[in-house]
Amino acid sequence: MASEQRANLKPLSLHVPEPKFRPGDEVDFSDIEVPAADAAKRPDVGAHPDTFHELSYGLVRVLDENDRAVGQWNPRLDADVLRRMLRNMAMTRAFDERMFRAQRQGKTSFYMKSTGEEAVAVGAAMALASDDMCFPSYRQQGILITRNYPMIEMMNQIYSNKGDKLQGKQLPIMYSSKEDGFFSISGNLATQYPQAVGWAMASAAKGDTRIAATWCGEGSTAEGDFHSACTFASVYRAPVILNVVNNQWAISSFSGFAGAEATTFAARAIGYGIAGLRVDGNDALAVYAATLWAAERARTNQGPTLIEHFTYRAEGHSTSDDPTGYRSAQEYSNWPLGDPVTRLKNHLIALGEWDEERQEAMDKECADLVRKTQKDAEKNGILGHGLHQPLDTLFEGVYEEMPWHLREQQQQMMAEEEASGRPWARK
């Protein structure tokens, strides 16, 4: 029998990925290769994807160890743009801190911080055109802040209060603003990927000039939606930027369960024949430069680009998560690519265009503005303190015109409320 002929072989076994560090472990990231900031070549925008496969395995960087902007990817931004970029990241961090505190005070049910990842959203948003359509995941609040979306509207949505334009029908932090090119955030992983590709295909079919960009975490690349989107993007050369934010952790599962031990996430692009870049996600200038390059490819009908942002999630996955239960507390402080806000600040200081005193003043200004905005938002109510939206709006917003069976259910519900003696206010 065949099994008897293989008696000398060892039994088959499965490899189960295991994170390098657990709570209490000493952290050593010396195995992570951080190439020189000027090491990555910058291909011509029209270059065929198979001519720069090495960019899917290296690391596009601009800021070097001496806080200088160097190499072919240096976008050569002037000091005013750099200061605006720094302020957008500082404002995002201040917003996160205040809303995290609000959740801990019981004013909302849920929040997700982007600490350590601010450059991913802010750098990209500043490189895109203001009318390009963004299909974000739930850690790209920096896009809205960069596009000057009113923070009070973000807070109203987090509190699900009477000022919430979404009428309390979305989970906190799942913003939506068509006017600002910000597609509704979904808690279902990777759904935004095929939506972004479809939107980009529609833009091209109409002969428009707007492109789409979408973001997901590295864990979401294991979802079928991710691969369906890559297939359509490749086949139709959709004008879309596919961002993968590799922050090392998907809730409590480390990136190895999504395939990080086998290869990079940027290498997913090679199998689909599309352009792939692996970028230092804590280098705002590298994120900006890579996004600008990918946007030009998309806008000139060169097809999609997949960008892996190599970064680290400094905080828990959400306010419902405690990272001390599954990873070493030393990981973020030892992360070899540093902190994105600090790195950009130090670059401006090295240019002679900034100093610690101005940084301190800006941080205070951001914190004060966020605090004042929070007070204004809370005048509209906070989550759990009464019904902030008229009850009969519960059935609205699903169809352009409400079908008869929902209209009947709405009328039945309102009649029951009125009969109970505690009717809620109608519109």
**Rounded mean pLDDT of 112-131?**
98
- Say what percent of the chain tops pLDDT 70: 98
Structural contact between residues 249 and 306, judged by C-beta atoms closer than 8 angstroms: no
| Reported CATH class of domain 49-318+333-378 | alpha beta
Residue 10 or residue 152, greater confidence:
152
For the stretch 267-292, pLDDT in tens is 999 999 999 999 999 999 999 999 99
Q: Please, which pLDDT band fits residue 423 given cuts at 50, 70 and 90?
A: low
Q: Which range has the worst mean pLDDT, 168-182, 238-252, 382-396?
A: 382-396
Reading the block at residue 346, the tokens are 């130090």
Q: Long-range contacts for 171-176 (Cβ within 8 Å, ≥24 apart)?
A: 171/109, 171/110, 172/108, 172/109, 172/110, 172/111, 172/383, 173/110, 173/111, 173/112, 173/138, 173/141, 174/138, 175/141, 175/144, 175/149
Structural contact between residues 147 and 343, judged by C-beta atoms closer than 8 angstroms: no
What is the predicted pLDDT for the residue at 142?
98
For the stretch 6-45, pLDDT in tens is 778 999 999 999 999 999 999 999 999 999 999 999 999 9
Instruction: Name the residue ranges covered by the structural domains of the chain.
Output: 49-318+333-378, 391-420
Reading the block at residue 213, the tokens are 């960009």
**Strand 249-250 to 253-254 pairing:** antiparallel
DSSP state letter for 179: G
For the stretch 330-356, pLDDT in tens is 999 999 999 999 999 999 999 999 999
For the stretch 379-397, pLDDT in tens is 999 998 888 888 888 888 8
Residue 395 or residue 117, greater confidence:
117
**What's the chain's average pLDDT?**
95
Q: Strand, helix or coil at 406?
A: helix
Q: Give dist(CA 117, CA 313) in Å, integer.
A: 7
Q: Give dist(CA 293, CA 40) in Å, integer.
A: 14
Residue bearing tokens 């599954």: 326
**Rounded mean pLDDT of 244-259?**
94
Q: Please, which pLDDT band fits residue 3 given cuts at 50, 70 and 90?
A: low
**Rounded mean pLDDT of 220-225?**
96
**Rounded mean pLDDT of 307-334?**
95
What is the predicted pLDDT for the residue at 303?
98
Residue 415 pLDDT exceeds 60: yes
